Structures are given as structure tokens and as C-alpha cells.
Amino acid sequence: MKILVVNPNTSEEFNRKLEQAAKEYALPPTEVKVISPASGPKSIEGIYDEALSVQGTLDAFIDREKEFDGFVLACYSDPLVVYAMREITTKPVLGIAEASVHLACLLGNKFSIVTTNDRWEPLLHEAVRKYGVESRCASVRTTGLRVLDLEGEGEGAVEKAIEREALAAVKEDGAEVICLGCAGMSGFDKALEKKLGVPVLDGFVCALKLLELFDQYGIRHSKILTYAAPESKELTCLPSRFSKAYLKDR
Amino acid sequence: MKILVVNPNTSEEFNRKLEQAAKEYALPPTEVKVISPASGPKSIEGIYDEALSVQGTLDAFIDREKEFDGFVLACYSDPLVVYAMREITTKPVLGIAEASVHLACLLGNKFSIVTTNDRWEPLLHEAVRKYGVESRCASVRTTGLRVLDLEGEGEGAVEKAIEREALAAVKEDGAEVICLGCAGMSGFDKALEKKLGVPVLDGFVCALKLLELFDQYGIRHSKILTYAAPESKELTCLPSRFSKAYLKDR
Amino acid sequence: MKILVVNPNTSEEFNRKLEQAAKEYALPPTEVKVISPASGPKSIEGIYDEALSVQGTLDAFIDREKEFDGFVLACYSDPLVVYAMREITTKPVLGIAEASVHLACLLGNKFSIVTTNDRWEPLLHEAVRKYGVESRCASVRTTGLRVLDLEGEGEGAVEKAIEREALAAVKEDGAEVICLGCAGMSGFDKALEKKLGVPVLDGFVCALKLLELFDQYGIRHSKILTYAAPESKELTCLPSRFSKAYLKDR
Amino acid sequence: MKILVVNPNTSEEFNRKLEQAAKEYALPPTEVKVISPASGPKSIEGIYDEALSVQGTLDAFIDREKEFDGFVLACYSDPLVVYAMREITTKPVLGIAEASVHLACLLGNKFSIVTTNDRWEPLLHEAVRKYGVESRCASVRTTGLRVLDLEGEGEGAVEKAIEREALAAVKEDGAEVICLGCAGMSGFDKALEKKLGVPVLDGFVCALKLLELFDQYGIRHSKILTYAAPESKELTCLPSRFSKAYLKDR
Amino acid sequence: MKILVVNPNTSEEFNRKLEQAAKEYALPPTEVKVISPASGPKSIEGIYDEALSVQGTLDAFIDREKEFDGFVLACYSDPLVVYAMREITTKPVLGIAEASVHLACLLGNKFSIVTTNDRWEPLLHEAVRKYGVESRCASVRTTGLRVLDLEGEGEGAVEKAIEREALAAVKEDGAEVICLGCAGMSGFDKALEKKLGVPVLDGFVCALKLLELFDQYGIRHSKILTYAAPESKELTCLPSRFSKAYLKDR
Amino acid sequence: MKILVVNPNTSEEFNRKLEQAAKEYALPPTEVKVISPASGPKSIEGIYDEALSVQGTLDAFIDREKEFDGFVLACYSDPLVVYAMREITTKPVLGIAEASVHLACLLGNKFSIVTTNDRWEPLLHEAVRKYGVESRCASVRTTGLRVLDLEGEGEGAVEKAIEREALAAVKEDGAEVICLGCAGMSGFDKALEKKLGVPVLDGFVCALKLLELFDQYGIRHSKILTYAAPESKELTCLPSRFSKAYLKDR
């Protein structure tokens, strides 16, 4: 199967990490392509950043939708654009947060998410509640570090901060599984797992492997209500490609 | 006070209704301006439509943020852009769904929302849950009509469908208050109230009046965590106005 | 509009504070009268005190109901008498706790309540849960001080205790908005807001302003189920005014 | 042990029924006295009625508190006065709704409450939620009949209406246990149980037997936080007996 | 009435404690017999242990079901076998955890459970949630001690550890009632209650006394849905007594 | 990888269906063996049946645990034995209900379960609540048919009943995904999906594919708290294999 990974920020470093993880975990016949939108912010550290990434991300998706069999939106949050994508394709689209929390529930009684700056604590709590698994979530912990720090050289410090919060989640909050709460943390999972002695999930790998699973089992998301194809309508001052997307599933 | 109402779709009919309601309910010193973004869909009937409206809506907001004292985002949903706006302004921003459900809770034990096409049923249930008032929500009912039908001539039929569902919410679901679940329903409130004998809330009026209340009391949204000003970062292929918005609240 | 504020305890100091706040925040045409019942406890520090205040409070309300357009019951709790009043009037009646928590939800992701003696912690948690917004409540914190201390000279100490708990709510519990959890704290809001840098709500002002909003919008509480007018019945050894209240809404 | 049953309304018919049930189910050494307050409404059909019953009920309780070992407040609701009583005594006080729903949870997966007029549906749902067992409650159903109808001659009709709703609760809502939702229904339990084939609980009997259980096991309600003895304070225009109640547990 | 207490582990020490408590609290006419299964683990410290106890426990129960009027399954958890027993008898069967938590709710606003090894913290949280009373549970605290330590000589140390955690539950978690979270803690209740000043419940006594209450009131668990008698079916390599149990309630 | 599927009942028909599904969906290198325990009931229609299957199922598992890399417990419920197995192995163990509901959450907003006899309705609701996804569950619907009917010739009728309930779940309950709620329904998924136009999940396939995913990603369940290896203890009258299982993971 061919999987398109859309990293909604424009950080090439992130893409390298995701490509590396895809290389490591994708099955041999799976082809994985990682892209960033042509327009948007360098990182997504809140809702304003997310909002700035929406149009570019959708654009990149619509442009390539036909060539791929499944899609990962590689931002550890509950991105609006995942739902928009599901409305205009019949192929599976997964976010990396939802992928990881549902797998986490199958591996231990409670999971915690370790993420970057403080705003994600309320935002990811909301996401977990929307996904329905709030009773399984021990905590969302933040390192206080910025997303782009994850790219830099000081990775030793970043890794240490993540380890500290993950350990606290295990010792103080009752977490039995850790979810890495940022696409930029991709690749830290196994090293952290060794240190902590509990399963550590890289949301990107979770989403990637679930898409393979969906493909092998032949399942796709439901198109009858929440993700039904939208009725077409007049668009003003938007590229024609957005209009054509309405026609897709007719 | 000066209030900017951003209708995130491009329907002029909606704007007329909102202006009419503003005329009727705003206090004398309040100036209300209703605008639509320069780009975007004619109506918002789902998440794809919402996604297409994000950039234009933000653009229109940023362009005029300095001139106004408060903002209404006039789409009956939980719009991403409300949170984005809150991050980049210190002035109050309200959505019309959140405004109406919290007031509804003060007027009766349970409320129901009557809205348009079926997809809004799950989406507004999610919104109500995010706002925290799911235990106060009797039901979300849909007329099955499209948003743009609300503009058309057949308003008698639309009104009847809304009345039918609102009555069912009262009789079958235990609703004591009705929230009109679409900006395009603005203006139906008092007529429906007379027929049903229960309070009927126009979310736009709720948001407008709450902004006046905030202004008179001197309160604004909190800027310390969820709506804190985002750190600036590199933006690619986006109008410079979006970059400048980062600097705002420093 | 004419608003009657019923302070259910007999502390004149409280009434002075409420009158002061009314003077500051009511719109010019709004007339506000603050009264205490003829009988009852000097302060309300629990359910026994509340129970002792019920009959006097109702009596005072019934006596003046005709002359006013809206009513505030100025006790920061979920007072039984608010619901009793709603049954026997068609004009809006608001408690100050419910008013503040719903507005708090519109100003930040999570709010905390800072109140007086320890018993209010479980009692206000129950109230918040009944209002439906428990998922939005970061904490209820108590200063351990008695209600009547709020009247005394040592207000510096009281203010400091409130500030300490409010700060802890923000730093440790994730509160983004603070609700002052006692009518006797009326007037501390703006000073505390300045110190904390987050919105601080005086429940009395919230209720007062919401009544004005209800008046301007022309909305009242629902009379069809929970607050429906009760059937009249034989009363024994109670002032005849209580009997006549049954007949009101026929 | 000596149990005082306070029926907070002034209906002698109710008292007769409760005395009959006490005779049938109390252990031989248990003495049960049923009283009504000297003042108050003939029945309690809502919160206004409850409010009118508060002072008389408390008065009657305080007057006799010393002579008895445990107390039942015989109104199927979540009466304010139960909590007031708990604050000023160290002896156990039980409401009949809380008693029945907790026992119902031990007898079947889900229970339903069948009660009288419609207002009790939202009110008892709130009570069930406050007691914590909302996930075990299949439904609250109302017969639409008034409380005082339960006293009258047409008991055949009342019984039939209760049976109809109880049967619907079992067949349509998944109830496995029925709670009779009014003190005036006392005595219907076993007849209804025979017809339905599911356990039917008379809340008064539940409370009575639980008080005996508490007595035999030597347990009482906790006095450290929610039901702690209140600080004494100045009371205005209230019988001195209410003042003395403060001193009780020092 | 005749009550059979099945201690699902094979520890005779536990049985002695239970017999002692029964002697102290059972009414004179109540006969109580405490047994352990012929096969199974010496203690139940998790689900594997529980699983090993299931067949022996059921066997012991089926063997004596006819001779007794009610049954206690004396393991402080949510034992599978309680539900199995309810399916094949019409007589009441109670677990000791469910018995204690529902009584705890009647004695204070919030309760905590103090138990042994760490695994019980998540397991008992799940049980509390299944019983429906999670909003009433302040905490589940563990001493870190093993179940069998409760039998040994070092009871002073065990008692101290329980007291320490119970005190922390009261001081830090807001508990107003303590439930002893292991059958092997039977007998500690009154001593601990004296030290803490809050009600302390021995789940075994709770279950025993509730069975007496059920007997006196003439109530039994519901047999229409969750605990309905199962259809008989072919059993392979199991004692014939298990087959005959199917026929019971026909 | 080598997967052992333990069907906890003794129905060979079920095993055939599971083998067929494994053949269809397992990856080429995956070896799947389906077994039934040597002792136990022909079908599992409730908790008594489940209890009778526990010892045999554990026995069969322990006997072969070393030879396999992952385990499916093929009963659509929340089987006790899954948790027992997790305690005594470090290899992944999945139940088929948990596997299907978490995947269902990734495919649509709400899912429903369609199962066999009525008792499973409350039991599976409890399971869904324990898994944490109750807010995502539209309904649990039962066909009223017995488990073993699924084996018989009248499969047309069984299939029709399942289809009827699944359709009702979609049309009336808002389900967007259907989970087949019995291992014996394995193989109906794709046919039903075609008729309904929504994703239909066979829980067995879900578990099987998730085990492959776990293997490829190198993740296993957490062993630090809920599923930690139990301390060994004296076992009475049980095969020595059960004792040896304690030593396993030291």
C-alpha cells in the first residue's frame, strides 16, 4: 500500500524523523511518502499555528489524494484537518494522537502523554476526552520545552526532560504506558522504553501500522454520518482544487 | 463598544439577518459590524467547509482586530478559529454555540439544540461535551435541511421543520430551553418561543449581549494557558499579516 | 429594570458590599435594592444555616416579588430557595454561583472557586456537578476562614488568604479563571485580578449583569417542567402570603 | 433502638402508611414513631413545597432529637433538611430515596424510580446523580398523578398507573429493580413485586432497616467535613431552640 | 437465617477472623458458616489468583446452596464468581466490596478504600466505577503489604500501615469514611475508627448485615436480565454438579 | 509470529470459523493455531458459563504459552482470564471485544455492538465502560438468539436477525460502525458491511491483526502494575502447572 504522511508544519527535520521511523517499521510492500505543505508555520504550538496550517495541509492532501491508499496527519493533537480529509476521501486517514491512545489502552490500564509546551496539557486532555478514553488517561505531562527544541542539537536535554516527565507519570500518576506527545519525538520510543520498563508509543508508528492493518483487513472509515461527503457549494477566492474535492465521492 | 461579527461563510443573507438582530438587541452605544471573509465557502455544513473558511476568517479578523473591542464568530459549532483568535488578541472572542448553551443552562434544567443537516448532530454533541454541559443537554435534533435553505424563500417550510423538531425536543426529550443551532436561524427565536412556550435562544444574540456584559464588567478571556499568546515562528508562503499577529501581545 | 437582591443572611455588612458593587456595575437605568430577610442566621456556613434562612428568605421574596423585574439570591452555593422562587415567579431568578461558573467557562478553559470554610469544598463541588460544568472546574479551594471574618477589620489577612489559594489554583490546579466563592468577597475581584493576571469573577456582579442581559434580550426561565408553577395545597401554620404565592401564575 | 420518622408534609394518611410499614418490618426491639411538623404543606410536589416544609421539619426534629437513636426523613427526594439534620446530630439520619437507590444497586444491574408528577423526573435524576449512581439508573418515570392522589380512594387507578410505568421501565428501559418514588406509595411494594417479577423497594422500609443495621453494627455518619457541626452564630427572629442546636456537639 | 460465607482463598486465618466478626455482629437467630474451597490459592493478590479460585469456589457454593438462605463471597474485589452464583441461585449473594461502598455512601460524602498490594489500586478503582459510585470515591490507597502479611504476627506493623494510609485518605483526599479493602483486615474497623474519628467499614460485616436486612425485608436480587438463570448446555470434563446447577431455577 | 487462539468454549464449529478467518486475514508468515480447553461449557452465554471455562482455559494457555508469541482469547466479552493470562506472560494477550471497540473508534464517531442473548446487553455495556469508550458507544443490541444457534443450519435466520439489529443501530442509534458481538459471528463481517454500507468489524480479526501489529512494532503489554507478575503462593488441589506459572517472569 502507498501511505502519504502529511506533516502539517514545514519542519524538514520532522520529516526526516518520520521517514526514518517509516523505514524501520513499515512492511516491505508499504511505500511511505512524507510531505509538508507548501505554506504554513514551522511548528504547531497551539491553535493559531494549527489554523495557519489548515489550508496548506488540505491543499497538499487534495493534490495527492488519488495516488495514495491511506493518510497519516502527523501532528500530535486532534487536528481539524483530519476530519476535513475524512469527509473528502473514502480512504483511511489517521491522526497520530488518536492512533496512539487507542493502542495504549490495549497495552495497559492507564496511559500518560508526555508532550512539549504547557498549552498542550489542556488541549490534549480535551482530545483524549473527545476520543472517549479519559478514564484511561493517567495524565498529560509537559516538558515546558518548545516543539522546535526537539530538532536542535541539545537533544540530550530534551530527551532527559521527556524521561523525567515520563518517569513521574509512571511513579506518581499510575501510568502503565507512555505516549510520546509530539511528532518531533519520533524515534525516542525504544530508548525511553528501555529506561522506563513500560511500553512507549510513537504515535506516528501507531498510525502507520494501523493503516497497514486497515488495508490488510479491508476496512475504512464510515461515510454515513460524521464523515459523510459534504454537499458542494460555491467557494470564493479559493483554488479550484478545493471545489473539485466536493465532487469526489459522488 | 465596537463589536466585529465574523460570519465565516460568504452568505450575504446571513449577514443581513445578523445585522437585523444586532439592530434589535444591541445597546445604543454598541456599534456592530458584520463581515464575511474575502475567501471561503458559501455555507459551513461540515468540517471540510469549516477548514476552507479558516484562513479567510483569520485574515479578516487580523485585519480589523485593532479597531474593535470584542468579536463574535457567528457559526453555530465549536469553531477552531475562535481559539486561534483568542490566542492572538486580548479582547473577548465568543462563539455563538458556547454563548447560547451556557445561557440556556441558566434558564432551564435541560436544553436542546435544533440544527440543520444530520452531520451536526454528532458534531454539536461533541461541542456540548467539550463545553462541559453534556449533562444539561437533552438532545441535538436536526431538521435534515441544508444550511442554505435557511436563506431561501421557502422559509415557511424551514420554520415548520424547526418548530417540529423543537416541539419533539420539549415533549420527548425533556428540553426546557431551545437553542437555535445555526446562525442562519437568527431572527426565528421570538416567534418560535411564542409557539412553544419555552425560552428559545438565538446564539448570535447571546454572544452579542455577553460581549456587552463582559465590556461593562471589564472582563476578558484568560491569557495564561490555553489562550496564551503563541511564540512567533517562521511562516512559509503566508501573508505577512499572519506573522505580525504573533507579536501582538508581547 | 428593577432588581431585588436577597442576601439570605442578616449581615448588613454583606448588603453594603453588594450595594457598592451594584452601584459600580449596574447600568444607569437599573435600580437595585439589596435586602436581608427579617429572620435567619447572621451568616450561612453550611446546610443547617441555609435551612434556617429558607423561610425568611422566601417570605421577603414573596412580599416584594410584584415590584421587581428580576432577582438575585446572593449566597455562593446552590441554594434551595432559588428553585422555590423560580416555581412561584415568571421573572428571572439567579444564584451567584451558577452565574459565575457559566461565565467563567466562557473566559478560560478551567476555573477554580476560592471560598471560606472547609465544608464548602464538597458542597460547591456538588453544586458545580449539578450545574453540569464539573469537567471545567480545576478545583474548589478553601481559605479555612469563617464567612463572618470577611466582614471584620482584618481584611488584609483575609485578602491574603484568598490570594494564596487563588494563586495555588492557578499554579497547581490549572485554573485560568478564579470565582470568588462567597458573597462577602464582593469587591475583591479587580484587586485580585491585578495580582494574579487572570480573570476574577464576583458572582454577584455576574448575576446582576446577567439579569440585565436577560431583560434586554427578553428571556426568562422556562416554566414547563422543573420550574413549573406548583399546584396549590393546604398549608398549616404558615403566613397566608405563602398560600397566595401558589395562585400567582394561573 | 428508637427511630423517629419525620414525614415533612402534614398528611396524616402518609403517616398511617408509614406506621403500618414500620409495624410490618421493624425488628421487635425497635420503636418507631412517625410525626409530621406542626407547620408546612399538605404534600411536597416540588421545591417551593419543600422550602415551606423546612423550618417546621427542623423544629420537630430538634424538639425530639435527644429521645431517639436514628431518624428517617420520609420524602422521596434529596431533601435539604437531611443534611441540616446531619450537621446538628451525631445520630444517623437517612432519606428514603438515598436508602432505596443504594440497596437497589445491590439487587440488580439497573434500577428505575417510579414517581408521581412530572417535575420529579428532573429532580430525581439530579438526586441520583448527586448520590453517584447515575450509571446504575435506567430511568425515572412519572405517573403524572399528584402526590395527594395516593391518599385518596381511587387507589386502584393509582396502583395501575404505577404498575404501567414500572412495567415500561422493565421492558423498555432495562430496569431490573423498581424503587417506589414517593413516601405515599409505601405499602405497594410487595403487591407490585408479585406482578412484575422484579424486586420492588419501598424507600421508607429501606431507610428503617438500614438504621437498624447501622445500630447493630455501631456505625454513624461521618462528622469531619460535610456533616461537621456548624459554628454557632447570631440568629434573628427564630425560636431559641434553633440556637441551642448549634451547641449540641461541642 | 443461615448464611454461608465463602472465603475464596484457602487461608484458615481469614476464616477465623470472619467467624469472629460474625459472632460479634450477627443477630442471635442468624447462623453463619465460613468455608474455603477445597482447591485454590492461599491468598488472592490479583486476577490470576482469582482465576485459580473460581472453580473451587463455585464447587463449594453449589454443594451447599440448598442449605443456606444467603451468601457472602468474602474477597474485597469485584469477583466474577459473585455474578456466576447469582445466575444459579435465587437467594441473595453479596460481595464485600460492593456491600461496603454502598453503605459508605450513606455515611459520608466521600469514602476511601485502604487495601494491600499495589495492583488493587487500579482493580478496585475499576470495581468502584462498575458499582457506579466513582464520584463518591476519594481514593483507593494501598499499604504495599501482601495479603498474607495480614495473617502474620507483625500485625502491629500492618495495622500501622493501614492507619497511615487511612489518615492520608482523610487529610489529603477528602475521605469522610474508610473502607477496609481486604477480608483479612476484618476486625480492625473499630480500633481504626477510634483513632481516625471517622466511620470505618469492615466489608464482611457490611455484607453479613445486609443479608440479614434483605431477609427481614424479604428482598432478593433480580432474576430477569443480568442475573437470569442460564440455559443449560453440554459441559465437558466438569463434575456433574456443575451441570445440575443449570436446572435449578426452572 | 505464532499466535495461539483460545476459544474458551468447546464448540468445534467456532474453531472452524476462527481458523477460516485466520486463513483469510493473517499475514503469510503468521502461524495461527485455534484451540478449545479440554474442559468447559459448549458455549458461553453468561457469567456462570464463563466461570466454568476459566480453569480449563488457563490450563490450555499455560500448557502452550512457551511455544507462541501472542494470544487471542476468542470470546466477545471482557473475560477475566485475559487479565489472568497477562499476569503470567510477557507476551501480548488480546480479547476480541476490546480489540474491536478500539478499532471501531478509529473508523467512525460512534459504534454499536450486535450480539446474541439479552444478558449480553448489560454485560457488554459494562465492558465498554471499563474499556473507557462508553461515550463512543451508540448501543449494544441483542438478537435474542442463543450463541449456539450461530452454529446451526438456520444461519440465514441468524444473519437476518443480526442485520436487522445492525440496521436499527445505524438508523435509530446513530452507529457509524458495527462490531459483531460474538466469536461465532466470525465471517459475517464483509457480507453485512456490503448490506449496511458501514464498516463491520469481526473482533477476532481485529485481535489477530493487532497482535501482528504489536509484533511488527515490538510492543507488549505493560508489566508494572495491573498486569505485573503475581507473587507465588501455596496452591491446594490444583495441577502443578498452575504453580509453575508463578515463577515464569522472575
DSSP state of E185: G
Give DSSP secondary structure letters for A3-70: EEEE-SS--HHHHHHHHHHHHHHS-TT-EEEEE--SSEESS--SHHHHHHHHHHHHHHHHHHGGG-SE
Contacts of D138 (CB under 8 A, 6+ apart): D110, D111, D112, D169, D173, D174, D175, D176
Q: Identify the band that residue A248 occupies on the pLDDT scale cut at 50, 70 and 90.
A: low
- CA distance linking residue A137 with residue A140, whole number of Å: 8
Cβ atoms within 10 Å, residue F12 = 13
The overall average pLDDT reported for chain E is 95
Beta-carbon neighbour count of residue A243 at 10 Å?
A: 15
Quote the pLDDT of residue F151. 63
User: In 10 A of CB C250, how many CB atoms?
Assistant: 7
- Could you tell me the end-to-end alpha-carbon distance of chain B, in angstroms, rounded to an integer? 24
Distances (CA, A) of D133 to B232, C80, E175, F135: 48, 22, 18, 17
Q: How confident is the model at residue D151 (pLDDT cuts 50, 70, 90)?
A: low
Q: Please give, rounded to a whole number of angstroms, the shortest distance from the CA of B165 to a CA of chain D.
A: 21
Chain A residues inside the 8 Å CB shell of F92:
107
Distance from CA of A247 to the nearest CA of F (A): 19
For residue E34, pLDDT beyond 50: yes
pLDDT digits (tens, 9 = 90+) for B228-247: 999 999 999 999 999 999 97
Is residue F94 within 8 Å of residue F120, measured between CB atoms?
A: no
Binary contact (A110, E122; C-beta < 8 A): yes
Which residues lie below 8 Å from residue C179, measured CB to CB, with a gap of 6+? Answer: C97, C100, C101, C104, C111, C112, C113, C114, C200, C201, C203
What pLDDT, on the 0 to 100 scale, is given for residue F153?
53
> Is the pLDDT assigned to residue F20 strictly greater than 50?
yes
> H/E element holding A227?
none
Number of residue pairs across A and B with CB atoms under 8 Å?
A: 145
**Cell representation of residue C131:** 450545574
Interface test with D, best of E83, E102, E179 (most D CBs within 10 A): E102
**Cell numbers given for F233:** 503462593
Give, to the nearest 10 degrees, the angle between helix A203-217 and helix F203-217: 140
Q: Give every CB contact of residue E170 below 8 A, 6+ residues apart in sequence.
A: D224, E112, E176, E178, E196, E198
- A94 vs F156: which has the higher pLDDT: A94
Q: A218–F190: do the CB atoms touch at under 8 Å?
A: yes
Q: How many CB atoms lie under 10 A from the CB of residue E196?
A: 20
CA distances in angstroms from D37 to B232, D33, D203, listed in the order given: 69, 13, 20
Q: Which residue has the higher pLDDT, B234 or F250?
A: B234
How does residue E151 score in pLDDT terms, banded at 50, 70 and 90?
low
Quote the minimal CA–CA distance from B116 to chain D in Å.
Answer: 28
pLDDT band at E145 (very low <50, low <70, confident <90, very high): confident
Which residue in the block uniquely carries the three cell numbers 465437558?
Answer: E236
Q: Which residues pair with A32 in a beta bridge?
A: A3
Distance separating alpha carbons of residues F22 and F211, to the nearest angstrom: 12
Average pLDDT over residues D230-239: 95
Inter-chain CB proximity B122 and F110 less than 8 Å? yes
Cβ neighbours of residue D159 closer than 8 Å, sequence gap 6 or more: D188, D191, D192
Give, for D101, the enclosing helix (H) or strand (E).
helix D96-107
Environment class of residue D19 by beta-carbon count within 10 Å: exposed (0-12), middle (13-18) or buried (19+)? middle
CA distance E247 to A86: 53
Q: Spell out which residues of chain D touch residue F121, defining contact as CB-CB under 8 Å.
A: 174
Q: Is F86 on the interface with B (CB under 8 A)?
A: no
- Chains with 3 or more CB pairs closer than 8 angstroms to F? A, B, D, E
Give the containing element (helix H, strand E) for E103: helix E96-107
Q: Nearest C-alpha of chain E: how many angstroms from A16?
A: 39
- Encode pLDDT of B150-166 as tens digits: 666 566 888 999 999 99
Sequence-distant (≥ 6) Cβ neighbours of residue C205 within 8 angstroms = B217, C21, C25, C186, C189
Query: Contact F52/E58 with Cβ under 8 angstroms?
Result: yes
Residue in chain A nearest B54 by alpha carbon: A51
| Angle formed at CA E122 by CA E121 and CA E123, multiple of 5 degrees | 90
Residues C128, C137: contact at Cβ < 8 Å? yes
Give the number of other CB atoms < 10 A from CB of residue B23: 9
CA A169 to chain centre: 21
| pLDDT tens, position by position, D40-76 | 999 999 999 999 999 999 999 999 999 999 999 999 9
Distance CA A59, CA A64 (A): 9
Helical spans, DSSP H, in F139-180: 155-173
Distance CA D198, CA E219 (A): 10
Q: Which three cell numbers, joined as nine digits, stand for C216?
A: 434586554
Give B203's Cβ-side CA count (13 Å radius).
31
> What's the farthest any 2 CA atoms get from each other in chain B?
55
**Could you tell me the three cell numbers for F223?**
508489566
The ipTM value here is: 0.96
Q: Which one of D1, D102, D226 would you mutate to disrupt binding with E, by most E Cβ within 10 Å of its Cβ?
A: D102
Q: Which of residues C149 and E227 earns the better pLDDT score?
A: E227
Least confident interval from D87-101, D234-248, E232-246: D234-248
How many residues are recorded in chain B? 250
F8 CB neighbours in chain E (<8 A) are: none
Q: Which helix (H) or strand (E) holds D106?
A: helix D96-107
Q: Which residues in chain F touch residue A106, judged by CB atoms under 8 angstroms apart?
A: 94, 98-99, 102, 210, 221
Task: Identify which of B80, B88, B233 has the shortest CB distance to residue A42.
Answer: B233
Best CA proximity match to F118, nearest among F165, F186, F71, F74: F165
Interface A-F, measured as beta-carbon pairs within 8 A, has a size of 130
Per-window interface: F 107-166 vs A, CB < 8 A: 107-109, 131-136
Q: Closest-CA residue in chain E for D109?
A: E226
- SS3 call for F25: helix
Across the interface, whether the CB atoms of A174 and E122 are under 8 A apart is answered yes
Chain C environment of B206 (Cβ under 8 Å): 217
Is the pair F, C in contact (3+ CB pairs within 8 Å)?
no
Write down the pLDDT at residue F152.
Answer: 61
- The CA distance from A40 to B38, in Å, is 19
Contact C221, D112 (CB under 8 A): no
Within a 10 A sphere around the Cβ of E161, how many other Cβ atoms? 17
pLDDT surpasses 90 at D247? no
Q: Is the pLDDT of residue F105 over 60?
A: yes
Q: What is the pLDDT of residue F250?
A: 45
Q: Give the cell for residue D55.
A: 423550618
Q: Mutation test of the interface with chain F: which of D112, D134, D135, D172, choosing the one with the most F Cβ atoms within 10 A?
A: D135
Tens digit of pLDDT for each residue in D68-116? 999 999 999 999 999 999 999 999 999 999 999 999 999 999 999 999 9
Q: What is the mean pLDDT of residues D163-190?
A: 97
CB atoms under 10 Å from CB of C74, counted, come to: 30
D109–F121: do the CB atoms touch at under 8 Å?
no
The mean pLDDT of B132-142, rounded to a whole number, is 98
CB-based contact (8 Å) between A241 and chain F? no
With touching defined as 3 or more inter-chain CB pairs under 8 Å, the answer for chains A and D is no
Q: Does A10 touch chain B (CB under 8 A)?
A: yes
Q: What are phi and psi of A31, to 5 degrees?
A: -100, 130
Q: If you ran DSSP here, which 8-state letter would residue E119 be given?
A: T
Task: Name the one residue in this structure whose C-alpha cell is 458481538.
Answer: F181
Strand partners, F198: none
* Mean pLDDT, rounded, for B28-35: 97
**Using 50, 70 and 90 to split pLDDT, how confident is the model at B115?**
very high
Longest distance between any two alpha carbons in chain D, whole Å: 55
Q: How far is E76 from chain D (nearest CA, A)?
A: 15
Q: Which of E216, F129, E134, E73 is nearest to D105 (CA)?
A: E134
- Residues 42-61, chain D, touching E (beta carbon < 8 A): none
Q: For A151-205, how does the pLDDT look when each residue is reduced to its tens digit (9 = 90+)?
A: 665 668 889 999 999 999 999 999 999 999 999 999 999 999 999 999 999 999 9
pLDDT confidence bin for D154, thresholds 50/70/90: low
Nearest CB partner across the interface for B222, out of C108, C205, C220: C108
Looking at residues C143-163, what average pLDDT do you find?
79
Choice between B147 and E108, residue whose per-residue pLDDT is larger: E108
- Give A247's pLDDT tier (boundaries 50, 70, 90): confident
Residue A231 to chain F, least CA–CA distance (Å):
19
List, in order, residues 6 or more apart from A4 with CB less than 8 Å away.
A33, A35, A61, A64, A67, A68, A70, A71, A72
Report whether C169 contacts C138 (CB < 8 A): yes
- Is the pLDDT reported for residue B173 higher than 70? yes
Contact criterion met (CB < 8 Å) for C245 and D48: yes
The Cα B169–Cα B187 span in angstroms is: 20
Closest CA to A67 of A23, A27, A35, A99: A35
CA–CA distances in Å: residue D243 to residues B145, C41, D71, D233, E213: 63, 9, 21, 8, 38
A248 residue type, one letter:
K
Of the candidates C37, C40, C49, C28, the residue with the CA atom closest to the CA atom of residue C4? C37
C-beta separation of E139 from E170 below 8 A: no
Burial category of C66 from C-beta neighbours within 10 Å (exposed 0-12, middle 13-18, buried 19 and up): exposed
Kindly tell me if the per-residue pLDDT of E249 is higher than 80. no
Nearest-CA distance E85 → chain C (Å): 37
Q: What one-letter code names the amino acid at A21?
A: A
pLDDT (average), residues C4-22: 97
Q: In this structure, are residues E111 and E93 in contact, taking their beta carbons and an 8 Å threshold?
A: no
**Which member of A52, A54, A122 has the closest CB to residue B226?**
A122
Q: State the smallest CA–CA distance between residue D133 and chain B in angstroms.
A: 14
CA dist E71 and E209 (Å) reads 11
Confidence of residue E156 (pLDDT cuts 50, 70, 90): confident
pTM above 0.90, yes or no: yes
Confidence band, pLDDT 50/70/90 cuts, at residue E250: very low
